[in-house]
Amino acid sequence: MKFDIVTIFPRMVEATLADGVVARGIERGLLDVEVHDLRDHTTDRHRSVDDVPYGGGPGMVMKPEPLARAVRQIRERRGDPATVILLTPQGRRFTQADAVRLSTLKHVVLLCGRYEGMDERVRTAVATEELSIGDYVLSGGELAALVVMDAVGRLIPGVVGDSRSVEEDSFARGLLDYPHYTRPSEFEGSRVPDVLLSGHHEEVRRWRKRAALRRTLERRPELLDAAALDDEERAMLGEIRREQERDHERD
Ligand code: 6GU
């Protein structure tokens, strides 16, 4: 899978390609990542990528031409991408479902926004979609592009060593993860739940499922509306809710 990232901070992006899951994908020949310096696509002496806003007001606006030129060159050198994504806080919220969708594509271009904003014609004439990674403001799209590439890259078969850890991920099924434990069996007075030491695989499986449901209900109840629960999970969730009602009555 090919990624092309267009940014005014290429070193910031390149620094993250040396380690971690994306680095592994590159080493294994599964990911082909190129970072493009937006300033290489300017034509003026000052290599300007921004200009004052029409209509006045504070801040600068990213010019459309360097971004359009960068994407044109990517098309010429690397082929037509399946999607050109503009990373901006105005975008639709990036979710695991987007990561899964993007992981099926052959070639994704990520455009990192900077400054107060982008000329609107980047959105309409250059990008094919706009994504945000959450409801907070970053000073640029670089970190967001790296988040998207990490979340997508780890779904490419072979990038993560053990594919079971991707399949069993929290969010792969729309629920939060169950608690994990390793040795020692007692740490600062806190013991690992007995069931995990018991060797009863079926009981362990049920304990984990129940713990994941309980956590999701307590911390992110809205996820349960969208999660595809099986019969066992629906029954467990009913039990957990009844337990919680009993606990509240007692308070
Ligand atoms: Cl994609 N860009 C910026 N600048 N801020 C963000 C974001 C993106 N997603 C969340 N906050």
Are the CB atoms for 158 and 28 separated by under 8 Å?
yes
Segment among 72-76, 146-150, 163-167 with least mean pLDDT:
163-167
Catalytic residue among 34, 98, 150, 169: 169
Pocket flag, ligand 1, residue 132 (CB < 6 Å): yes
* Per-residue pLDDT reduced to its tens digit, 95-140: 999 999 999 999 999 999 986 789 999 999 999 999 999 999 999 9
C-alpha–C-alpha distance, residues 182 and 58, integer Å = 54
> Is the C-beta atom of 117 inside 6 A of ligand 1?
no
Range(s) within the chain of domains with CATH label 3.40.1280.10? 2-153
Q: Which position has the token pair 């999660």?
A: 227
Residue 163 has pLDDT above 90, yes or no: no
* Whole-number pLDDT of residue 170: 67
End-to-end CA distance of the chain: 55
Question: What is the value of pTM for the model shown?
Answer: 0.94
Query: Tokens 């993250």 label which residue?
Result: 16
| Nearest to 31, CA basis, from 112, 148, 114 | 148
Catalytic residue among 154, 173, 214, 233: 154
Q: Return the H-helix or E-strand segment holding 195.
A: helix 194-197
Q: Where in the chain is the domain with CATH 1.10.1270.20?
A: 186-250
CATH of domain 2-153: 3.40.1280.10
**Which residue CA neighbors atom 5 of ligand 1 most closely?**
138
Which is higher by pLDDT, 22 or 164?
Answer: 22
Ligand 1 pocket test, pick from 138, 139, 147 with the greatest ligand atom count within 8 Å of Cβ, gives: 138
Whether the per-residue pLDDT at 169 is higher than 90: the answer is no
The number of the ligand 1 atom at minimal distance from the alpha carbon of 138 is: 5
**pLDDT value for 116:** 77
Question: In the annotation, is 249 catalytic?
Answer: no
Residue nearest atom 3 of ligand 1, based on CA coordinates: 138
Q: Nearest-CA neighbor of 61 among 70, 69, 49?
A: 49
User: Quick one: which atom of ligand 1 is closest to the CA of 114?
Assistant: 4
Q: Which fold has domain 186-250?
A: Trp Operon Repressor; Chain A (1.10.1270)
Q: Is there a catalytic annotation at residue 89?
A: yes
133 lines ligand 1 (CB under 6 A): yes
